[in-house]
């Protein structure tokens, strides 16, 4: 089919939507390293994880050989409310850049959670419901994941307890209200709800909280309350599995028009979007069926791939979770306060880390003012106001398209547009007012953080 025939937006029919998630690990020769028990340093088994996670999700977490998992019908029905997400041909951006490159983006923002997070939230809520649980707990920073989980729990009639970092709870009340609209209880963290929360409040009475502390509270609440489990929106293998729906839809839409991408670009915090977007493409690469350049984009202020260590580390600041082998900045690393672009997790999905270590993908770190410049440029020509997270991918997509302009190459670029920036206008305001600064951690700062990595011998 000729390029002229490709519409601005490719929507799959309901019948073309994926019926199974793709488990990338099944095609990996070097499997991602297992989660370890923080006390014994032995691989965690299903039994040990059962107090924290839902049984079915643990199976998915530990299974690195089954290539496909059927998507249960209830989840597919929910997906039909907001999926398929459009694969958009960025005609206007191409025209604006005067590039011979062909640019596509998979837009995951057309739902109330405002991002791709809903893809895994609904799956995790479903399995919790199937297990007969009463509810789930989680933590949230700015609230994107918490919103997605609230929506999912509301749909299945599950209770949803969200620990929201106190400073966000107070200063970013809008997503909190979205969560309340969906019936979630939102507690500012640290709280007096949990032992760990009370301890922190005692030691630091004026603290405004941290993601690490909120995780610890959510885990404690789940493990100490009958009928509850803890759920997480990124990093884990199960999350990447659910998010593969992004890549499967993307590939199906491209295949429909006979388009083969040269470059696939995704932003990366914990890896939930990137891992999902690239899944089927990486699968082809692993099986030797096709080759693609795959680029992870991360903030220069939180550069786990590009400047982190590939090592076992804690997944949380409170050091209560299992150890994961990943590219990490150290579990105590916190990006500078002026960092506004999201993607602030200290580590990276074990699966993606292994692929990166094996040279199967590239990574690059970008400074935040350049990210917001790309965001604004994109918004003006493509009409969508992107989340700062998503704008990391836009930045590199534009850079690659401009490189094509220099060389005259007609490359096909696909990037993930994970969500919308409606709740990030404070960051945009900073950018408009010229008050946004770039921050790059020094080698000394990183080394000090690496020094606190767990000793593994």
Give the residues lining the site for its own copies (CB under 8 A).
7-9, 11, 13-14, 77-78, 80-82, 88, 91-92, 110-112, 114, 151, 154-155, 173-174, 177-178, 180-183, 376, 379-385, 420, 422-423, 425-426, 428-429, 432
Task: Report in angstroms how near the CB of residue 86 gets to its own copies at its nearest.
Answer: 9
Q: Residue 43's beta-bridge partner residues?
A: 36
Q: For strand 309-314 and strand 323-328, is the pairing parallel, antiparallel, or unpaired?
A: antiparallel
Structure tokens belonging to residue 158: 């599950």
Q: Residue 96's beta-bridge partner residues?
A: none
- Nearer to its own copies among residue 60 and residue 243 (C-beta): 243
Task: Report in angstroms how near the CB of residue 347 gets to its own copies at its nearest.
Answer: 30
Structure tokens belonging to residue 162: 């969200």
Task: Report in angstroms how near the CB of residue 110 gets to its own copies at its nearest.
Answer: 5
Task: Report in angstroms how near the CB of residue 291 gets to its own copies at its nearest.
Answer: 32
| CA–CA distance, 22 with 317 (Å, rounded to integer) | 31
- Nearer to its own copies among residue 50 and residue 426 (C-beta): 426
Chain mean position to CA 445: 25
- Nearer to its own copies among residue 76 and residue 405 (C-beta): 76
- CA angle, residues 331, 179, 368, in degrees to nearest 5: 45
Per-residue H/E/C for 223-250: HHCCCEEECCCCCCHHHHHHHHHHHHHH
- Nearer to its own copies among residue 114 and residue 190 (C-beta): 114
- Nearer to its own copies among residue 25 and residue 175 (C-beta): 175
Q: Is the peptide bond before 190 cis (omega within 30 degrees of 0)?
A: yes
Name the residue among 111, 162, 179, 144 with its Cα closest to residue 423: 144
Structure tokens belonging to residue 251: 């590939």
Task: Report in angstroms how near the CB of residue 44 gets to its own copies at its nearest.
Answer: 34
Does residue 82 sit in helix, strand or coil? helix
Name the residue among 103, 89, 95 with its Cα closest to residue 10: 89
Structure tokens belonging to residue 405: 């302009």
Task: Report in angstroms how near the CB of residue 192 gets to its own copies at its nearest.
Answer: 21
- Nearer to its own copies among residue 150 and residue 449 (C-beta): 150
Task: Report in angstroms how near the CB of residue 421 gets to its own copies at its nearest.
Answer: 9
- Nearer to its own copies among residue 177 and residue 291 (C-beta): 177
């Amino acid at each position: 089919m000729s390029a002229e025939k490709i519409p601005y937006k490719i929507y799959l029919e309901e019948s073309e939507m994926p019926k199974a998630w793709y488990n990338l690990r099944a095609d990996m020769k070097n499997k991602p390293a297992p989660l370890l028990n923080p006390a014994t340093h032995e691989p965690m088994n299903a039994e040990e994880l059962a107090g924290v996670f839902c049984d079915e999700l643990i199976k998915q977490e530990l299974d690195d050989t089954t290539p496909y998992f059927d998507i249960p019908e209830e989840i597919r029905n929910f997906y039909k409310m907001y999926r398929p997400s459009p694969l958009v041909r960025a005609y206007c951006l191409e025209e604006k850049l005067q590039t011979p490159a062909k640019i596509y983006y998979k837009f995951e923002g057309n739902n109330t959670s405002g991002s791709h997070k809903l893809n895994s939230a609904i799956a995790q809520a479903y399995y919790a419901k199937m297990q007969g649980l009463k509810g789930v707990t989680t933590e949230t920073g700015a609230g994107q994941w918490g919103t997605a989980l609230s929506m999912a729990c509301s749909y299945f009639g599950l209770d949803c307890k969200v620990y929201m970092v106190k400073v966000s709870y107070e200063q970013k009340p809008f997503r909190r209200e979205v969560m309340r609209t969906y019936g979630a209880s939102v507690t500012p963290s640290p709280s007096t709800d949990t032992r760990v929360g009370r301890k922190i409040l005692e030691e630091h009475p004026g603290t405004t909280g941290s993601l690490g502390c909120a995780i610890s509270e959510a885990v404690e609440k789940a493990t100490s309350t009958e009928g509850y489990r803890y759920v997480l929106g990124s990093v884990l293998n199960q999350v990447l599995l659910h998010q593969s729906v992004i890549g499967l839809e993307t590939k199906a839409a491209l295949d429909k028009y006979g388009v083969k991408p040269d470059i696939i670009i995704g932003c990366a915090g914990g890896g939930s979007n990137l891992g999902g977007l690239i899944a089927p493409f990486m699968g082809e690469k692993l099986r030797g069926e096709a080759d693609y350049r795959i680029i992870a984009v991360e903030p220069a202020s939180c550069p786990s791939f590009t400047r982190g260590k590939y090592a076992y580390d804690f997944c949380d600041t409170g050091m209560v979770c299992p150890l994961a082998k990943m590219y990490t900045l150290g579990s105590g690393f916190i990006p500078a306060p002026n960092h506004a672009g999201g993607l602030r997790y200290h580590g990276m999905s074990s699966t993606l880390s292994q692929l990166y270590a094996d040279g199967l993908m590239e990574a690059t770190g970008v400074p935040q003012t350049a990210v917001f410049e790309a965001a604004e440029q994109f918004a003006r020509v493509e009409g969508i106001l992107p989340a700062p997270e998503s704008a990391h991918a836009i930045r590199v997509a534009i850079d690659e398209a401009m490189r094509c302009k220099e060389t005259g190459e007609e490359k096909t670029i696909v990037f993930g547009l994970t969500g919308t920036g409606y709740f990030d206008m404070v960051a945009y305001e900073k950018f408009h007012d010229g008050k946004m600064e770039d921050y790059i951690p020094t080698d000394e700062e990183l080394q000090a953080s690496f020094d606190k990595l767990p000793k593994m011998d």
